[in-house]
Amino acid sequence: MARLEAEEYKTFEEIKQTDESGNEYWFARDLQDVLLYTEWRNFSKVIDKSMLACKNSGFRVYDHFVDLNKMVIIGSGAEKSITDYKLTRYACYLIVQNGDPRKEIIALGQTYFAIQTRRQELADTFNQLDENNKRLVVRGNIRQWNQLLAEAAHNAGVITDEEFGIFQNAGYMGLYGGLTVADIHGRKKLKEQEKILDFMGSTELIANLFRISQTEEKLKIDKTSTAVAANETHYKIAEKIRIAMIDMGTTLPENLPTPDKSIHTIEREEIKKLKDSKIKLMLDE
């Protein structure tokens, strides 16, 4: 495995470019190939989300994602113009953070492009965001932490889909005073295909992010080795968070309002705003 990682890291390094001033950058089309995205239209969706994450982190998007048009030769020998981006290391980091977590290469890319100051930068700008963009930021973090939690739970003995459903319910029951995923789904009056995490406000999302991250850490520290023990850990961590909320006198998660818009709707709206403001942003430079 260590050898595989070294080879993949070398691949990321090999596609790196350097400009005349010594600044490093990557082309999106090269990164697409390394990250095993066969279709540009699918990879461009990841780029769109990454640009939105860049904006929400307080950076100017077009400092990190520079539009390029390239001419390439097609089968007939004629040339055709295609879209590409010149990416900073930070842009690449955001792309792998928003990529398909099922791909092993994505996990390796997250390590390669890791930026230690990311959390501090986010903390500095988070309070300046409106509610919708706060939701986007926290929901994005939850996606990554849920992947880590799933891996920790699997290592602890939570193997089948049924076992994982029980494990997930244990966490929600601890945080929501005994309510299961189905109960919360019903209280929020969601459609069958809608996910409860996509219909949480930022406060409720943050409570769940804490539940997820602390459970993942505890499973690893305790070297939990059975599904039953993992369920108990998830429940107890969540219950302690709930007790702390009661002690502080804050609103319990099941009593927080359900937003009218889903995370997916907000993402589409914000990406459209970002694209519509593109000309203005470039003129501002």
Domain shared by 191 and 239, yes or no: yes
Calculate the CA dihedral of residues 114, 117, 123, 129 and round it to 10 degrees. Answer: -70
Q: Which of 214, 216, 201 is nearest to 240 (CA)?
A: 214
CA dihedral sign, ordered 252, 258, 262, 266:
negative
pLDDT digits (tens, 9 = 90+) for 128-182: 889 999 999 899 889 889 989 999 999 999 999 999 999 999 999 999 999 999 9
Banded model confidence at residue 9, pLDDT cuts 50, 70, 90: low
pLDDT digits (tens, 9 = 90+) for 247-282: 889 999 999 999 999 999 999 998 888 877 754 544
Mean pLDDT of 47-54: 94
Within 8 A by CB and 6+ apart from 12, the residues are 34, 109, 112, 113
Structure token digits, residue 42: 């699918």
Domain shared by 118 and 34, yes or no: yes
Number of domains, the chain? 2
Residue 274 domain flag? no
Return the minimum-mean-pLDDT range out of 89-93, 202-206, 218-222: 89-93
Q: In what order do the strands lie in the sheet with 65-73?
A: 17-18, 24-27, 79-87, 65-73
Return the minimum-mean-pLDDT range out of 37-51, 58-72, 115-129, 204-218: 115-129
Domain shared by 135 and 240, yes or no: yes
- Provide the mean pLDDT of the chain: 87
Domain shared by 85 and 170, yes or no: no
Asked if 167 contacts 158 with a C-beta cutoff of 8 angstroms, the reply is yes
Q: What is the pTM of this model?
A: 0.66
Domain shared by 21 and 47, yes or no: yes
Residue 282 domain flag? no
Residue 119 domain flag? yes
Distances (CA, A) of 210 to 63, 101, 134, 218, 239: 32, 20, 15, 12, 12
Residue 238 domain flag? yes
**The pLDDT of residue 70 is above 70:** yes
Domain shared by 79 and 181, yes or no: no
Residue 281 domain flag? no
Give the residue numbers spanning the domain of 218. 131-268
Give the residue ranges of DSSP H helices in 23-130. Answer: 28-34, 40-56, 61-64, 89-97, 104-112, 118-126
Domain shared by 181 and 111, yes or no: no
Domain shared by 138 and 108, yes or no: no
Asked if 80 contacts 61 with a C-beta cutoff of 8 angstroms, the reply is no
Domain shared by 13 and 115, yes or no: yes
